[in-house]
Amino acid sequence: MLPTKGAHTVDIRIQGSEVTAGRNLGESCGIVALAERIPVGYRLVQSLRILQHRGQESAGISVFVGGRTKTMRGMGLVNEVFSGVKLERDEGLGIGHIRYSTAGSSAIENAQPLYANIGRYEISVGHNGEIVNAPALRERLEGRGYSFSTNSDTEVILKLLSIELSKAADPVKAMKASFLKLVGAYSLNILINGRVFVVRDPNGIRPLVIGETEYGYGAASESVVFDQLGGKTIRDVFPGEIVEVSKEGFTSYRFSEGRKEAHCMFEYVYFARPDSVMEGRNIFDVRNMLGRILARESPVEGDCVVPVPDSGRSHAMGYAEESGIPFTEGLIKNRYVDRTFIMPEQSGRENELDIKLNPVRELISGKRVILVDDSIIRGNTMRKIVRMLRNSGAREVHVRIASPPVRYPCYLGIDMKTKEQFIAANRSEEEIGKSIGADSLRYLSLEGLVKAIGLGRGKLCLGCLTGKYPVRVPGNHL
């Protein structure tokens, strides 16, 4: 291990592996915070492994040890970063983070949590989301003489918080003043002098839940963390809420109220684990209903319903149950390959697909296949899957997508920044279907998506589908 950037941050370098293959389409990073009556270092690592699907680029934890904050972070999967690392006996207070990059390049300097020591305060911050006014805030701070060591928007948050802490004796007051300057999506976990806080942006774009464990309390991006720690989820963090988590319970502070809720629809369609619960909605049930509505809206004669694993499985089950056409595992996934949707380059996604998926010829040959997936972004991956099925003898391939077409950039935590990368940006369904080589292609309607999620259109962020965002995006003129 090579210590860098101060005595209390240890950057863990993995021999021969500065970066892993995994990275973004995005929402998401994953965060966890624990305050327990036992040391939490290993439990934070365990929690990050549970959230590994949310980011495969870097991982890190900050824990309170001997009255000081110690941060450890590295590039790679959680088990790569912490393999062989002996964690010190901490005081039961800490935060953890896994990352894929949306703002800030793939480099150890941008791995989180980020740490700062300012006067009487030690601060560590982890961030899931994206701050759309970060460039303007950074320029303003640089004009005042502040320097930056990363190109991550999380460092902008850290700098603002450090400035406010230097002026205020109360960390909560400092946080309120800092967060009111931010525009965008953010769920944060923060460790300040042994006090553990979590924060959710005023629109609630990024998910965050509070939970209870056998040994104390915590918060995480998804409820499944508490299921697997042997605890229970208490509730979602409210939009515009700061929550201090302690070993005895939690305390709520509101810094912004009255904003329009806008929960990311992609959480329900793709990002979250199907066994998680968000805003009271079980993700598996939502995806199953997405598939059912898709079958009602876009029926087609076929012999089998085949999911694109793993993310399309719940949707395909719903489609099969609604249509009465048999569900068939016609594509087998190599479990040891990262999620291609969150990989950095298209060439990497396509090359990985060769070893990620393998058709079962005996189940496909001579069949009219209904191929179900959660989304199509660029189209190259779907084109290759359709070709795989045809090469395995499929007589027809009908593609059904359990979300509407993605036509607009996301500025709030998903690495989709230009319309040119979307196959649906300027094409009709028929044109897209022809481009990917399918006999037919149909997407779920926007109305069907909203109905399946069950929160109402007024509580969802649909920006990548409609071009209308819940916050003002600088430079966006859609």
Q: For 2-22, write each residue's pLDDT tens digit.
A: 334 444 788 875 543 333 332
Closest CA to 291 of 398, 456, 448: 448
> What number of CA atoms fall less than 13 Å from residue 467's CA on the CB side?
8
More confident residue, 351 or 276: 276
Distance CA 469, CA 477 (A): 11
Residue 477 has pLDDT above 50, yes or no: no
| Res. 351: pLDDT tops 90 | no
Instruction: Using pLDDT thresholds of 50, 70 and 90, give the confidence band for residue 341.
Output: very low
Can you read off the two tokens belonging to residue 270? Answer: 């793709």
Q: 289 and 452 in contact (C-beta within 8 Å)?
A: yes
What is the predicted pLDDT for the residue at 18? 35
pLDDT band at residue 119 using 50, 70 and 90 as cut-offs = confident
Q: Rounded to an integer, what distance in angstroms lies between the CA atom of residue 275 and that of residue 261? A: 23
Which amino acid is located at 212 in the chain?
A: E
List, in sequence order, every residue forming a beta bridge with 197; answer none if it has no partner. 190, 244
Going from the C-alpha of 158 to that of each of 35, 182, 261, 371, the distances in angstroms are 21, 12, 25, 45
**Tens-digit pLDDT profile for residues 427-468:** 999 999 999 999 999 999 999 999 999 999 999 999 999 999
- Delimit the CATH 3.60.20.10 region(s) of the chain: 7-261
| pLDDT of the residue at 416 | 72
In one-letter notation, the amino acid at residue 368 is R
Of the candidate ranges 12-26, 126-140, 324-338, 343-357, the one whose mean pLDDT is the lowest: 12-26
pLDDT-based confidence at residue 105 (cuts at 50, 70, 90): low
- Could you tell me where in the chain the CATH 3.40.50.2020 domains are found? 281-466
Instruction: Write the DSSP symbol of residue 107.
Output: S
Has residue 82 got a pLDDT over 70?
yes
What rounded mean pLDDT belongs to the chain? 90
pLDDT, position 420: 73
Distance CA 466, CA 456 (A): 15
Report how far residue 103's alpha carbon sits from residue 157's, in angstroms, rounded to the nearest whole number: 13
pLDDT bracket for residue 352 (50, 70, 90): low
Please calculate the CA angle 53-382-307 and round it to the nearest 5 degrees: 65
**338 confidence band (pLDDT: 50, 70, 90):** low
Tokens at residue 367, please?
A: 């069949």
Q: How many C-beta atoms surround the C-beta of residue 86 within 10 A?
A: 6
Q: CB of 197 within 8 A of CB of 190?
A: yes
Q: How far apart are CA 196 and CA 246, in angstroms?
A: 7
CATH class of 7-261: alpha beta
Q: Please compute the mean of the pLDDT values over residues 261-274 and round it to a whole number.
A: 97
User: What would the mean pLDDT of 407-419 be, rounded to a whole number?
Assistant: 83
Please determine, for residue 45, whether its predicted confidence score (pLDDT) is greater than 90: yes
pTM over 0.95: no
d(CA 401, CA 385): 14
Which residue numbers are catalytic?
Answer: 29
Task: Tell me which residue of 10, 131, 130 sits closest to 61, measured CA to CA.
Answer: 10
Cβ(284)–Cβ(278) below 8 Å = no
Specify the pLDDT at position 321. Answer: 98
Quote the pLDDT of residue 109: 83
Three-state DSSP class for residue 272: coil
233-251: per-residue pLDDT in tens?
999 999 999 999 999 999 9
Beta strands in 110-269 (DSSP E): 114-118, 121-131, 184-192, 195-200, 209-212, 216-220, 232-236, 241-245, 250-254, 263-264
DSSP single-letter state for residue 260: P
The pLDDT value recorded for residue 5 is 42
Tokens of 215: 């040994």
- Domain range 281-466, CATH architecture: 3-Layer(aba) Sandwich (3.40)
| Rounded-to-integer distance, Cα 461 and Cα 135, Å | 22
Classify residue 299 as exposed, middle or buried by CB count within 10 Å of its CB (0-12, 13-18, 19+).
middle
Q: Are 26 and 53 in contact (CB under 8 A)?
A: no
Q: Which amino acid is at 250?
A: F
Q: Are 424 and 376 in contact (CB under 8 A)?
A: yes
Query: How many residues are recorded in the chain?
Result: 478
pLDDT tens, residue by residue, 190-211: 999 999 999 999 999 999 999 9
Phi, psi of 198 (to 5 degrees): -130, 150
pLDDT of 434: 98
Looking at residue 353, its pLDDT comes to: 64
Measure Cα distances from 403 to 286, 324, 441, 444 in Å.
12, 21, 12, 5
Three-state DSSP class for residue 324: coil
Q: In the numeric block, which tokens belong to residue 394?
A: 């499929």
